[in-house]
Amino acid sequence: MQSNKKHAWVGLDVGKTTFFAAADLPLENNDKQPLLKLPAREFKRTEVGCGSFLKWLSESFPDYNFSVVMETTGCYSLQLRKWLHAVQPDLPVAIQNARLVSDFIKSLNLLHKTDLLDARAIARFGTERMPPPMQIKSKNAEMLQELSRERNALIKVRTALMNRRESINSPSIRKINGRVLATLTAQIAEIEKEIEKIIREDEDLSRQAMRMISVPGVNMISACAILAEFGSLSQYSSRQLSALSGLVPKISSSGSSLNQSCLSKRGAGRTRQLLYMNSLTAVNKIPELQALYQRIIAKGKTKMTARCACMRKLLLILRVTAVENREYRDFSQKNNQTALDF
């Protein structure tokens, strides 16, 4: 019966055209098999290859239920996860930060480094760390994230060209530069229309976006970009959202020679960029942020430290609008002590 099956982890080392899979099967006494003896195979990174991989698991190890773990490899791991779920929707798939997986593999002190060995090490990472499965986003959420990131990429290119424009002396080159800038501006505007269209069509995202733009300093594009990266803010606790944003301090302390802290900077940097720009206006318009900024400056901290603290609190205020399903102005001065107490 299904309930009598044992559980095991499969590690995938994902490449552009193929992926290596290794199964970490526990021994009878729950001891771990030697890493080099874990069964492993190579498969094509295609929909057919995913089917062959799952067939290999079911036919070779019928007494096991598997969870899959792989490291982030951009679009390759995400596409592979989609194909796996298309064949077996209930398959738990975890995609982990590549740095965490790399540090784990280094800790094993392996003599060689091959794709096959990496797959085995990733399987052992799953066994020991037991990472949670990746949440599946809706089609609207995935499209929103792609549009937001594409807009961000185009803005970076446009900014670089605008900065370069001042140093161009040739009239013909300036003309080309102007045409490219105009094209980029038009494409960015088109993307923004698509973003707003997706938001309008999704009831939950639309509701959250409208609540978020009620917060001073936050416009629709910023709200959409934040939702694109995090999804619904109401699914996180304050602590979880702070950690995902990378706005929590990372403390480094060693004896008397080292005692300092800095931002962890985990998660998408584009979100912190947005929050920084939004906070420039929000700090002057939101009493809680203004008080926090002045309090940190009074302690002798730098302006950037105070700004980062305000960015984190601004994100948590946005979370409150989602959790409470209310606009910011509805938090009266009398009641927001508990709602905005972080």
Could you tell me if 215 and 286 are in contact, meaning their C-beta atoms sit under 8 angstroms apart?
Answer: yes
Of 249, 269, 12, 16, residue with least CA distance to 115: 12
Residues 49, 71: one domain? yes
For residue 1, the SS3 value is coil
**pLDDT at residue 74 in the model:** 81
**pLDDT at residue 334 in the model:** 45
Residues 58, 161: one domain? no
**pLDDT at residue 110 in the model:** 87
Give the domain CATH number at 19: 3.30.420.10
Residues 193, 299: one domain? no
String of b and e for 248-272 (b: at least 16 CB within 10 Å)?
A: beeeeeeeeeeeeeebeeebbebbb
Rounded to 5°, the CA angle 227-231-235 comes to 125
Residues 210, 340: one domain? yes
Last residue of a domain, one of 103, 129, 155: 129
Last residue of a domain, one of 186, 201, 216: 201
The one-letter code for the residue type at 124 is: R
Tokens standing for residue 128:
């020991």
Residues 18, 103: one domain? yes
Q: Which domain holds residue 209?
A: 203-342
CB-facing half-sphere around the CA of 139: CA atoms within 13 A: 1
**pLDDT at residue 222 in the model:** 87
Of 204, 68, 92, residue with least CA distance to 138: 204
Residues 125, 103: one domain? yes
Residues 63, 32: one domain? yes
Count structural domains, the chain.
3
Residues 197, 207: one domain? no
- List, in sequence order, every beta strand (DSSP E) within 150-265: 249-254, 258-263
Cβ partners under 8 Å of residue 79, min gap 6: 45
- Number of neighbours of residue 95 by Cβ within 10 angstroms: 21
CA dihedral defined by 176, 182, 185, 190, rounded to 10 degrees?
-120
Residues 12, 114: one domain? yes
**pLDDT at residue 204 in the model:** 83
Residues 86, 123: one domain? yes
Element (H, E) at 24: strand 18-24
In tens digits, the chain (342 residues) has pLDDT values of 445 788 999 999 999 999 999 999 988 777 788 999 999 999 999 999 999 999 999 999 999 999 999 998 888 998 999 999 999 999 999 999 888 899 999 999 988 889 999 999 999 999 999 999 987 777 888 888 889 889 989 999 999 999 999 899 999 999 999 999 999 999 999 998 998 888 888 888 888 899 999 999 998 888 988 888 888 888 888 888 888 888 876 655 555 555 555 655 566 677 888 898 999 999 999 998 999 999 999 999 889 889 989 999 999 999 999 888 888 876 645 444 444 444
Residue 243 phi, psi dihedral angles, 5° rounding: -65, -40
The alpha carbon of 130 is separated from its chain's Cα centroid by a whole number of angstroms, namely 19
The one-letter code for the residue type at 122 is: I
Residues 161, 210: one domain? no
pTM for the whole thing? Answer: 0.72
pLDDT in tens, 198-251: 888 888 888 889 999 999 999 888 898 888 888 888 888 888 888 888 887 665
Could you tell me if 245 and 312 are in contact, meaning their C-beta atoms sit under 8 angstroms apart?
Answer: yes
Q: Distance between CA atoms of 279 and 294, rounded to whole angstroms?
A: 14
Of 12, 30, 29, residue with least CA distance to 21: 12
Last residue of a domain, one of 91, 109, 129: 129
Could you tell me if 1 and 21 are in contact, meaning their C-beta atoms sit under 8 angstroms apart?
Answer: no
CA dihedral defined by 196, 202, 203, 207, rounded to 10 degrees?
-40
For residue 19, the SS3 value is strand
Residues 197, 212: one domain? no
Q: Assign residue 130 a region: left if phi > 0, alpha if psi is -120 to 50, beta otherwise?
A: left
